[in-house]
Chains A and B, each alone.
Chain A
Amino acid sequence: MEMTGARILMEGLLRERVEHIFGYAGATICPIMDALMETPEIGYTLVRTEQNAGHMASGYARITGKVGVCIVTSGPGATNLITGIATAYMDSIPMVAITGQVPSNLLGRDIFQEVDITGAVTPFTKHNYLVKDAAQLPRVLKEAFYIASTGRPGPVLIDIPVDIQEQVVPDVTFPEEVHIRGYKPSVRGNDLQIKRVAEAISQAKQPLICAGGGVWLAQAREELVALAERYAIPVVKTMMGISLLPVDHPLNMGMIGAHGNRCANKALAKSDLLIMVGTRAADRAIISPDEIQRRMATIHIDVDPAEIGKNMQAAIPLVGDVKVILQQLLALEVPAPDAAAWRACLKEYRRAELTREFPRREGSVFPGTVLRKLGWRLDDDAVVCVDVGQNQIFACKYLPQKHGRLLTSGGLGTMGYALPAAIGVKVARPDRQTVVVCGDGSFQMAMNELAAIRCADMDIKIVLFRNHVLGLVHQLQKAEPYHGPYGVALDGSPDFESIAAAYGIPSMVADDEDKLDETLDRFLGTRGSCVLICEVHPDVGTND
């Protein structure tokens, strides 16, 4: 059948079961927008800056397990998207980003809105394509979705010059299968290694599972919980692995790391066998990998062989799909480790953490207190999108999780992630309760997207901690070797109630902990979106 490049793109997207695109139109993607208009099966959200198209696609991908798709124009559209792509790359989020490009015969002449985007994103994409012949598009699309979603997922960029979008291909055929010589991700774990792991588990006295974002990516939550429960192994999580276990699960020990829960870090320090599942053991989670290596045996399960030994040498490496490997482990029966004393000791740590008293200050609320009360009020499967800064640390440490999700930019730490990610979630799952947690710094990086919420009449509850400073940097600058806060006061910030009102979104203020229960009930009971502005003292620190 005869088709234009833009039409081939639409057909290819439909074949990949794409239902929604986040984007920003421009001159070099006009043929695609034209084809999109004639493709009612695919929904479209206009963002207010291209970076957020990446974050929305990320939120969408994380909640559906499908590939998120975004599309922007050439030049500044493409460069603005880079932060969104890099954010997805660091957290291994499956994404296909499509960029328009200047006409192929003018490539390299620095014409209006031309940039070498494939060159620019090479370090933060799993792969990328510059398409110079529309007849290649069916294969490129098939490969792009396959690469983005298999093995260790990640973003793939496809750059399409505007004339290629208009090019007519006489006889279009779409491939049913992909064949890429250099790309064959491992799936099954080595049986011998699986046996060694099972034996190590049954012999441990103080085993500990450290679960990361890879468990979510492999959709292996059930298997992880099953393994932990079968052998009664306590579980700590990295920031990306958070919410794998409900808060009241007896084996849940919280989040490890520089900003983690004390109970989790104590468990890590005292364990004699650390089973790392789908985690990079990066600096924020594992502060001193050398010491861990010296003090305990380690098992490292990951789909990406390059992660084994990158930050930490594991005694037993195990490469493959986390879900398949956990199933292989569950298929083996070994005696459970004798670790009752270990669990009893950890239980005490955990109890101390959960009942921790938070400080109080007149005229303001403490973020930990707000989040603790908020979490228990949320639906069982609520999705909470958390920004970056003190709000992220408070939420990851203290927000009680049930069976929902907590989505945050854990790897790149991109401020302004939460609001657009929540929009992506809501597009995919309109029925799931969706909450944003952010600070007054991060909110101002993304508040233009209130328009997207307004436009689709979405119900997103936004918790905004207002302390008038960039809190985490402020906290850092107050400690040695720095000489005090500088350049972190958010003077000139707008009145957020007026901003919300300007978009037709109601808001309320929380500044009294005695009335907090009632305020939170009112906030969550509001129909449609609502902003809750929580007054926080600027001196509040994440270790308070």
Chain B
Amino acid sequence: MKQTISVLVENRAGVLNRITSLFSRRAFNIDSLAVGVTDDLTLSRITIIVDNGNSVVEQVEKQLNKLVEVIKVRTLDESSLIGRELMIIKVSANKNNREQIMTICNICGAKVADISPTSMTMELSDTPDRVRTFEDMMRPYNILEVARTGVIALQKGGGKI
């Protein structure tokens, strides 16, 4: 089962290294990992998606908590989290199929970020599922390049971790 771990850490050089080395050493698999600074510039939030059993996730949480630069760790409740991923996708496009591609973009809520005589580049921020659907729909148009950020997430409601 996929689980989303949200980690608040000191925004300092070397912190990410400590976290990834902890994962590799204890053979915990990471599906995705995204880092960014928070409203407090001394803090970064790391969102980690893992696909492991519950006891493994519990142990991951405890080991993360032991790191001096980790301030808070929380496994988010899957039924009430807002998880988003950004994808930038470049496909071959010309005057014959641009309209079709635009239709799919409109249905999926993707925006065109760049256009050239032979290509189109779209951006989409959505749940990982819907991002994947959009990617599948683009497949017939010869995907040239894809970049995805990995999921970032917050819990719904007024609380904070």
Identify the A interface with B (CB < 8 A): 118-119, 122-123, 126-127, 130, 147, 180-183, 304-306, 309-310
Return the contact of A306 from the options B17, B55, B65 (Cβ within 8 A).
Answer: B65
A118, A126, A181 — most chain B CB neighbours (10 Å): A181
When the two chains form their complex, are residues B17 and A182 in contact, meaning their CB atoms are under 8 A apart?
no
**One of B67-75, B87-95, B116-124, B138-146 at the interface:** B67-75
Interface of B, helix, strand, loop or mixed by DSSP: helix
When the two chains form their complex, are residues B10 and A181 in contact, meaning their CB atoms are under 8 A apart?
yes
When the two chains form their complex, are residues B25 and A182 in contact, meaning their CB atoms are under 8 A apart?
no
Closest to B67 in A: A182
Closest to B10 in A: A182
When the two chains form their complex, are residues B70 and A309 in contact, meaning their CB atoms are under 8 A apart?
no
Chain A residues positioned under 8 Å from B69 (CB to CB): 182
| Given A305-B62, A306-B59, A309-B59; A122-B68 close (CB under 8 Å) | no
CB distance from A315 to the nearest CB of B (A): 16
Cα–Cα, bound, A27→B103 (Å): 68
In the complex, whether B160 has a CB less than 8 A from a CB of chain A is no
In the complex, whether B53 has a CB less than 8 A from a CB of chain A is no
B10, B18, B25 — most chain A CB neighbours (10 Å): B18
Closest to A156 in B: B68
- The count of residues in chain B whose C-beta lies closer than 8 Å to any C-beta of chain A is 19
CB distance from A115 to the nearest CB of B (A): 15
Cα–Cα, bound, A310→B67 (Å): 17
When the two chains form their complex, are residues B68 and A147 in contact, meaning their CB atoms are under 8 A apart?
yes
Chain A residues positioned under 8 Å from B70 (CB to CB): 182
Closest to B69 in A: A182
Cα–Cα, bound, A306→B14 (Å): 22
CB distance from B62 to the nearest CB of A (A): 4
CB distance from B85 to the nearest CB of A (A): 27
Cα–Cα, bound, A182→B65 (Å): 8
When the two chains form their complex, are residues A304 and B25 in contact, meaning their CB atoms are under 8 A apart?
no
Cα–Cα, bound, A183→B69 (Å): 8
CB distance from A314 to the nearest CB of B (A): 13
Return the contact of A123 from the options B14, B25, B58, B71 (Cβ within 8 A).
Answer: B25
Chain B residues positioned under 8 Å from A306 (CB to CB): 59, 62-63, 65-66
When the two chains form their complex, are residues A305 and B65 in contact, meaning their CB atoms are under 8 A apart?
yes
Chain B residues positioned under 8 Å from A119 (CB to CB): 17
Cα–Cα, bound, A136→B82 (Å): 39
Closest to A308 in B: B62
Cα–Cα, bound, A147→B66 (Å): 11
Cα–Cα, bound, A119→B58 (Å): 26
When the two chains form their complex, are residues B68 and A127 in contact, meaning their CB atoms are under 8 A apart?
yes
The 5 nearest A-B residue pairs measured at CB: A306-B62, A182-B71, A127-B68, A183-B68, A182-B70
Chain B residues positioned under 8 Å from A305 (CB to CB): 62, 65
Chain B residues positioned under 8 Å from A127 (CB to CB): 68
Cα–Cα, bound, A347→B111 (Å): 79
B12-66 residues at the A interface, CB under 8 angstroms: 14, 17-18, 21, 25, 55, 58-59, 62-63, 65-66
In the complex, whether B152 has a CB less than 8 A from a CB of chain A is no
CB distance from A308 to the nearest CB of B (A): 8
Chain B residues positioned under 8 Å from A180 (CB to CB): 68
When the two chains form their complex, are residues A181 and B62 in contact, meaning their CB atoms are under 8 A apart?
no
Cα–Cα, bound, A183→B10 (Å): 11
A-B contact pairs, 21 of them (CB 8 A): A118-B14, A122-B18, A123-B21, A126-B68, A127-B68, A130-B14, A147-B68, A180-B68, A181-B10, A182-B10, A182-B67, A182-B68, A304-B66, A305-B65, A306-B62, A306-B63, A306-B65, A309-B58, A309-B59, A309-B62, A310-B62
CB distance from A382 to the nearest CB of B (A): 35
Cα–Cα, bound, A266→B55 (Å): 30
CB distance from A185 to the nearest CB of B (A): 10
| Given A118-B14, A123-B25; A181-B71 close (CB under 8 Å) | yes
